[in-house]
Amino acid sequence: MRLLAIAAIVLGLSACATPEPRGTGDLGLVVERAAGRIMLIETSGHSVLGRIDGLGDLSHASAVFSRDGRYAYVFGRDGGLTKVDLLRERIEARVIQAGNSIGGAISQDGRVVAVANYTPGGVRLFDARTLEPLAEVPTGSKVVGIADAPGNRFVFSLFEAGQIWIVDASDPRRPQVRKIAGVGKQPYDGFITPSGRYYIAGLFGEDGLALVDMWNPEAGARRVLGGYGRGEEPLPVYKMPHLRGWAVAGRYIFLPAIGRHEVLVLDSVTWTEAGRIAVHGQPVFAVAQPGARRVWVNFAFPDNGVVQVIDVADMKVVKELKPGRAVLHLEFTPRGEQAWISSRDDGRVTVYDAASFAELARLPAESPSGIFLTSRGAMTGF
């Protein structure tokens, strides 16, 4: 009996021998979309720390982070919302909150997670600690381009309805909704600038973007870059572009042209076109490297084996990389010295030195798609 007690004490002690404490500032996750799994990575040594299973259908999955960088909230296509503890490498909570969802956002104060849904169309709010449901905002339309905004607000667009809605979630059980109608045909995604001031929705159904000044939402939306296609028939679009605050490089905003092999440059002071850059295919992500000197671009099927790098000062393509077949996503470390790029069909993530373009590491992964670093947790619009 005494022996057993001693054994229990010894076991208890060894279980208490906690690993060295670590911060989360260099952590992130890679979605292995076909496997319903995420790969936990760290960017200081370019290594895989572990894998976490059981997250459901992760096609088009995205993630946001808690303000302390410890937890990831992963939004799955199947309506699953999963809270993952990056330090304990386990699922903390998980709910299936809708039939079909597209993404989400976390509030300015970090207390509320909002999920944007296709079926049924709407936004649902959850307690970030427990994932308890708090409120629902039905929209009757597919929700796209959800972003957090200062004042514990969320802003998003409605694909069929052609509207932008702003939800004040200061009291998350009683959200207040402001609707802006007639913003344009078929907004396909939207983002908020890093300052939190401007929300911009890209339009699929016509050439142009809708701009809302979040300081003055009563003024409604205005059209920017209207008619950028100059009346020419657009090419078929095999993958919708993605917009986020990464589009902003200093004064300029770099935007994928829908149905064209072009990146459009919008001047964020005058809100007029500042140029356009011919590229390899139809852009999906145009991401400014932190430091704002370069913008990296990947492309839609069938041109998706290439990443091009635009020099912001010259507004020209200065480098072409071939990170593998079906490049789905790229993410920079917060200070911009590394670029992480996923190649779905070659099953790997390639880490580049973003200054020299030298390959730093290759990490095997199963159909990798999105790459999300914890630094997003400290940024408005991510």
Nearer CB in complex with another protein: 58/201: 58
CB of 347 to another protein, least distance (A): 12
Cβ(179)–Cβ(163) under 8 Å?
Answer: yes
Comparing CB distances to another protein, the nearer of 226 and 259 is 259
Nearer to another protein, 96 or 378 (CB): 96
Residue closer to another protein (CB basis): 303 or 311 = 303
Residue 328 CB neighbour total at 10 angstroms? 23
CB of 98 to another protein, least distance (A): 12
CB 301 to another protein: min, Å: 5
- Nearer to another protein (CB atom), residue 88 or residue 325: 325
Closer of 192 and 300 to another protein (Cβ): 300
How would you write 290-328 as a 3-class SS string?
CCCCEEEEEECCCCCCCEEEEECCCCEEEEEECCCCCEE
Residues that bind another protein (CB under 8 A): 33-34, 57-60, 77-78, 99-100, 102, 118-119, 142, 159, 186, 188, 204-205, 236-240, 301-302, 326, 344-345, 367
Rounded to the nearest whole angstrom, what is the least distance from the CB of residue 303 to another protein in the complex?
Answer: 12
Shortest spacing between CB 300 and another protein, in angstroms:
9
Query: Please, which residue, 75 or 198, has the CB nearer to another protein?
Result: 75
d(CA 303, CA 262): 13
We find the least distance from the C-beta atom of residue 261 to another protein, in angstroms, to be 15
CB of 77 to another protein, least distance (A): 5
Query: Distance between CA atoms of 127 and 112, rounded to whole angstroms?
Result: 5
In the complex with another protein, the residue whose CB is nearer, 37 or 153, is: 37
The distance of closest approach from Cβ of residue 59 to another protein in the complex, given in angstroms and rounded to an integer, is 3
Minimal distance in Å, beta carbon 299 to another protein?
A: 13
- Reduced 3-state DSSP string for the chain: CHHHHHHHHHHHHHHHCCCCCCCCCCEEEEEECCCCEEEEEECCCCEEEEEECCCCCCCCCEEEECCCCCEEEEECCCCEEEEEECCCCEEEEEEECCCEEEEEEECCCCCEEEEEEEECCEEEEEECCCCCEEEEEECCCCEEEEEEECCCEEEEEECCCCEEEEEECCCCCCCEEEEECCCCCCEEEEEECCCCCEEEEEECCCCCEEEEECCCHHHCEEEECCCCCCCCCCCCCCCCCCCCHHHEECCEEEEECCCCCEEEEEECCCCCEEEEEECCCCEEEEEECCCCCEEEEEECCCCCCCEEEEECCCCEEEEEECCCCCEEEEEECCCCCEEEEEECCCCEEEEEECCCCCEEEEEECCCEEEEEEHHHHHCCCC
The rounded distance, in Å, linking the Cα atoms of 121 and 70 is 30
Minimum Å distance from CB 57 to another protein? 5
- Cβ proximity to another protein, 268 vs 367, nearer residue: 367
For another protein, the closer of residues 158 and 312 by Cβ is 158
- CA atoms within 13 Å, Cβ hemisphere of 54: 11
